[in-house]
Structure 1
Amino acid sequence: MTGQGLLIASSVVVPLLMALACLSPAVRGRMPGWLAIAPLPALLAAFLARGGSIVVAPAPLRLTLALDDVGAMLLGGAALLWAAAGAYAASYMRGQPGLGRFAVWWLLTLTGSLGTFLVADLTSFYLAFSVASLAAFGLVSFEGSPAALRAGRVYMALALLGEAFILLGFVMLAIGAPPGNPLIGEAVAFFPSSPLRDPALALLILGFGLKMGLVPLHVWMPLAHPVAPMPASAALSGIIVKAGVIGLIRFLPLEAALPGWGATLVAVGLFTAFYAVAVGVTQTQVKTVLAYSTVSQMGLVAAVLGAGLMAAAPGTALLAGFYALHHLLVKGALFLGVGVAMATGPRHRLLVLGTMTLLALSLAGLPLTSGALAKYATKPLFGDGLAATLATLSAAGSTVLMLHFLRLLGGVAKPGAERPPTGILWPWAAVAVAAFVAPWAMFAWATALPLSASLGAKALWAALWPIGLGASVWVALRFVRLPAIPEGDVVVLADRLAPAVGRAGEAVERADIWLRRWPVASMMLAVLAIALTVLLSAGS
């Protein structure tokens, strides 16, 4: 076993062993203070083991871990956020009941989410994806309030639905691939010529799109984030949704041009981006607004992948991964920063709100931020048509949503608070710095573009005018009475329609009973016979 292989394996083994150690009540009670340690092997692997691999189980199982460029980029960002959020949780949640249980769910979710960036075979990917998806239920429902339990039920129902889509898609994908447990690359290589290509692609896009929060499968996100503890919200929005992103990156045949499927993904992604903004600006809770922002941003990532799939554009996977890394760090810092802002008094509030403003507008592509770099890098994939125009205008939508978020954030200060606790301040600061610095450091490597090109007058103006447009729209909306749309929008509408649907079903059942009575059935049969006779006579 090589040093790289050992480091890659330890990325998932260490947090898994920590979770198993929680079987001891004494260890479980102390584990919340050690959560920040669990992702450190993965952080080291992202820097030191890129290109490495390890076979965990030989043929026929062929359970394999490998770290390619996209995986290393997302693994490093996810491990950093997991470590910071773990340290944040130890301070933010100190004294709350059930922290040992929280630690177990946290470590299992962490294990699965890091595993999705490392696994290289179908079986291991499904296992890691399932662990991350199902264990996150414990983070969503941890508070135990009615809202948290309801959000947990919705999340679990959709997670199981997504698992079913993906499992069936994997079965179709494996047909025609090498026997046994094929590597992902081997299975995807047979994808374009597979007779089951289209249904398999549909199922995989549904399954991974659900995890990303593509409309209309997004409803778990705005329900889960407001009720989850702050560090859990950072992990859910920053990292867990990236399991869907890495799934599409791994399993879409990006090297084969599929214009129809690419255009479909672009359309769904851009619709998601604008829909989430439209609903998000009606929300009144800061975490809910951030949840809809994540839905919008994941829509844009899906559109990036769709644009690359349309023309088999080289480098699509790395570009989508780069955009996802930017979102991972910025959104994680925003969620952690909400807790910091709530604990900050007037004297220190300007620095916190100023940092949060830069982070928020980075999602809209503010010049000289990581968001501007991410949008500049992915813009060529869209070409010069309608999709390119809508992708550019989505930055204006993000500006509207983020200005709405900042306005709400200004009113969340805790009375009498002065300085936030060090235990939440420094983890937030570390992620915020990484959100500003890491994309700049990785831009040339990830995009194969010179960094100077993003600093030209044309590029800066292309990033600035959507911000101005969005700010103008936000000001105009201040004079408009927006509708009150509940968080979860579609699922809430379904809840409200449920009684009417139930009554309609009961009416159909009563009609069926009535029609099955012998006199009624005889009369209907006679009417049908007469009508048929008339039609036949007319035809002759």
Structure 2
Amino acid sequence: MITATALLAILLGVGVMVPLALGLPLLLLVACASKRLRRAMPRLFVIAPVPALLAALFDADAGSFELGNDLFSLSFSLDVPGAMLLGAAALLWILSGVYAERFLRDRPEPDGFIVCWLMALTGCVGVFLAADLIGFYFLLAVLSVGASGLVLQGQGPDAMRAGALYLALALLAEAFLLAGLILMANATPDGSLLIRDAAAALPESPTRDLTVTLLLIGLGMKAGLVPLHFWMPLAYSAAPIPAAAVMSGAVVKASVIALLRFLPLDVAMPGFGHALAVVGLFGALYGVVIGITQRNPKTVLAYSSVSQMGFVVAVIGMGLAAGDGTTPMAAGFYATHHLLVKGSLFLAVGVVALTGRRHLWPMLVPAAIIALGLGGLPLTGGSLAKYAAKDLLGSGLAGTVAMVSSIASTLLMIQFTRRLGENTASDARARAPGPLVFAWIAMALASLVIPWLLYVDFPLEALPKALAPAALWDALWPVLVGAVLALLLDRFRSLPRVPAGDVGIALGGLKGMALAAGAALEHADSFLRRWAVACVVMLVVTLLFVWALL
């Protein structure tokens, strides 16, 4: 008997949705050249990610296509971890699009937001689909520009500063990444630019250590690893709610899929793997320590992302150290759960801010449940995600620190729930608009249900083992300890407030030096561009070239 899902897949055609997933948002972005069409785009925000969702459902490990000719082409395809992340990201873009469309009704000049939204969507879908080095790098650049533009759509000088910082660090990270990709391409046999071929050739590359170092620096910055994490709390706090939701949930996962695809995870690299795990676990704890001092619920969530991304990177690091081929599935599953939950919670911040205290609890209780899922609350997707990563982390020091991280995440999420409840509308009877509530509730339900569906569909581990009493207790007791610590912290101690951006604030003292250096370089450039000086420089360079030849 043919099921409804199989029938739909036959009607659509295997592989058809992969090109449409990238093509539709790109087409809408190009259509924004017309002002009349651009103003109609918010109504299409919901439709633009639908092909990506269908591609994730039907084309994993099957759909692929090439764009170009024999001289040069770009390749796109899906693997299972990529399909998990793409599907969850597409759903988040759809429901955040519902929120964004309602949000833009009150903005007199929505054009900048519209263009940046579609640019970020195109880049986000593209990085999950890209199968070659050039396509990935190009689409990552598109994603970075679009995301920085979304941050700039916030209000006031904080948004300008956060957007500029986001773009600057994104470009710096991409410079490291570009150098690593060039070395990967150079070491790949037969001149192949496919990511799978480059990753397979990496262990035998003569520049392996330098290549991996460059990749980890660039992608670590993109992932928000400490100490180059400070762009994350500044950007997420300044961005409008729908932009912060997709950035914290979907956009940052570009670094995760890149690590899973570029690193040869079936080959043991203990040095790099353990170093990556140490940095990741340190960030997992550091994000909580700074996050519990924050007052703004968006900022608390941003530091939670620093913590959770550190944990995901630690899982990948331990898998790289052991050469464990199951790493992509476990890390991809954990990242997918974080994508769903973090997107949901940012939408919750926007909805609660428009809700009065009389109608607060129906909004606050679901937010608290899925927030505690990040700490591993039993029967949530978070407990499944942590169980899936348990074997990779092991029972040694990494496993112990991971358990402490679960306690710390619970503490931070209780802090978030408390701050969220303080961030309500001034009118006690106020209700958030229906489309915003729908987007939030639908995303909250998805974050609870989808991890279970994924766990059943993909062979991560036998489900009865994850539901065994011992496994449930292992998930529950860190949550209980975190709750007790939150109670004690709230009752007996007042924490100092650390400015959002922490390390980035300290670097603000370098602003004067940077401006002075920029002015000096500008004067030098003006001097060198004078006709007489340029001629002399050209003559000197020519003479040196002749001398080198002789």
1:70 to 81, 84, 92: 81
User: Conserved in 1, the CA contact under 8 Å of 2:319 and 2:327?
Assistant: yes
Find the counterpart in structure 2 of residue 459 from structure 1.
471
For the pair 1:18 / 2:31, whether they are aligned, the reply is: no
2:299 to 264, 285, 288: 288
1:494 to 507, 510, 521: 507
Gaps of 5+ in 2: 1-11, 517-550
What secondary structure, in the 3-state scheme, does the structure 2 residue paired with 1:241 have? helix
Superposed CA deviations along residues 92-121 of structure 1, whole A, max 9, x for unmatched, are 231212212211100010000111111111
User: Conserved in 2, the CA contact under 8 Å of 1:262 and 1:307?
Assistant: yes
Residues 365/58 of structure 1: CA separation in 2 closer, same or farther (3 Å cut): same
Find the counterpart in structure 2 of residue 166 from structure 1.
177
CA distance in 1, matches of 2:73, 2:38: 33
- CA positional deviation for 1:477: 2.0
The amino acid that maps onto 1:28 is R
- CA positional deviation for 1:303: 0.5
- CA positional deviation for 1:4: 2.9
Mean CA deviation greater in 119-128 or 444-453: 444-453
User: Conserved in 2, the CA contact under 8 Å of 1:92 and 1:423?
Assistant: no
- CA positional deviation for 1:383: 1.4
Find the counterpart in structure 2 of residue 481 from structure 1.
494
Find the counterpart in structure 1 of residue 90 from structure 2.
79
For the pair 1:157 / 2:183, whether they are aligned, the reply is: no
Find the counterpart in structure 2 of residue 45 from structure 1.
55
Mean CA deviation greater in 86-95 or 145-154: 86-95
What secondary structure, in the 3-state scheme, does the structure 2 residue paired with 1:217 have? coil
Find the counterpart in structure 1 of residue 224 from structure 2.
213
1:269 to 239, 257, 280: 280
CA distance in 2, matches of 1:500, 1:72: 45
User: Conserved in 2, the CA contact under 8 Å of 1:344 and 1:413?
Assistant: yes
Larger Rg, first or second structure (1 or 2): 1
1:1-400 paired onto structure 2 within 5 Å = 3-50=13-60, 51-400=62-411
User: Conserved in 2, the CA contact under 8 Å of 1:62 and 1:182?
Assistant: no
- CA positional deviation for 1:481: 3.0
- CA positional deviation for 1:384: 1.3
Alignment coverage as a number of residue pairs: 502
- CA positional deviation for 1:181: 4.9
The amino acid that maps onto 1:493 is A
What secondary structure, in the 3-state scheme, does the structure 2 residue paired with 1:476 have? helix
Superposition TM-score, scaled by structure 2 size: 0.89
The amino acid that maps onto 1:461 is W
Superposed CA deviations along residues 341-388 of structure 1, whole A, max 9, x for unmatched, are 112223321111100000110111101100000001110111111000
Find the counterpart in structure 1 of residue 540 from structure 2.
none
- CA positional deviation for 1:178: 3.1
User: Conserved in 1, the CA contact under 8 Å of 2:189 and 2:201?
Assistant: no
CA distance in 2, matches of 1:500, 1:192: 41
- CA positional deviation for 1:30: 1.6
User: Conserved in 2, the CA contact under 8 Å of 1:32 and 1:100?
Assistant: no
What secondary structure, in the 3-state scheme, does the structure 1 residue paired with 2:432 have? coil
- CA positional deviation for 1:176: 2.0
Superposed CA deviations along residues 155-185 of structure 1, whole A, max 9, x for unmatched, are 1110110110110000111122134451101
Find the counterpart in structure 2 of residue 525 from structure 1.
none
CA distance in 2, matches of 1:278, 1:361: 17
User: Conserved in 2, the CA contact under 8 Å of 1:307 and 1:381?
Assistant: yes
CA distance in 1, matches of 2:357, 2:116: 36
CA distance in 1, matches of 2:280, 2:132: 27
CA distance in 1, matches of 2:412, 2:182: 40
The amino acid that maps onto 1:157 is A
The amino acid that maps onto 1:301 is V
User: Conserved in 1, the CA contact under 8 Å of 2:330 and 2:460?
Assistant: no
CA distance in 2, matches of 1:125, 1:249: 13
User: Conserved in 2, the CA contact under 8 Å of 1:62 and 1:181?
Assistant: no
Mean CA deviation greater in 309-318 or 344-353: 344-353
CA RMSD of aligned residues (A): 1.6
CA distance in 2, matches of 1:60, 1:186: 18
Find the counterpart in structure 2 of residue 515 from structure 1.
none
CA distance in 2, matches of 1:110, 1:189: 29
For the pair 1:421 / 2:420, whether they are aligned, the reply is: no
1:435 to 447, 451, 471: 447
CA distance in 2, matches of 1:502, 1:147: 19
Superposition TM-score, scaled by structure 1 size: 0.90
Superposed CA deviations along residues 172-201 of structure 1, whole A, max 9, x for unmatched, are 111221344511011111101111111111
Mean CA deviation greater in 474-483 or 243-252: 474-483
User: Conserved in 2, the CA contact under 8 Å of 1:155 and 1:224?
Assistant: yes
- CA positional deviation for 1:338: 0.9
CA distance in 1, matches of 2:251, 2:305: 11
Gaps of 5+ in 1: 504-540
The amino acid that maps onto 1:452 is P
- CA positional deviation for 1:446: 3.2
Percent identity, please.
48
What secondary structure, in the 3-state scheme, does the structure 1 residue paired with 2:15 have? helix
CA distance in 2, matches of 1:492, 1:403: 26
User: Conserved in 2, the CA contact under 8 Å of 1:123 and 1:181?
Assistant: no
Mean CA deviation greater in 244-253 or 446-455: 446-455
CA distance in 2, matches of 1:98, 1:10: 29
Find the counterpart in structure 2 of residue 514 from structure 1.
none
The amino acid that maps onto 2:504 is V
What secondary structure, in the 3-state scheme, does the structure 1 residue paired with 2:249 have? helix
The amino acid that maps onto 2:500 is E
The amino acid that maps onto 2:464 is S
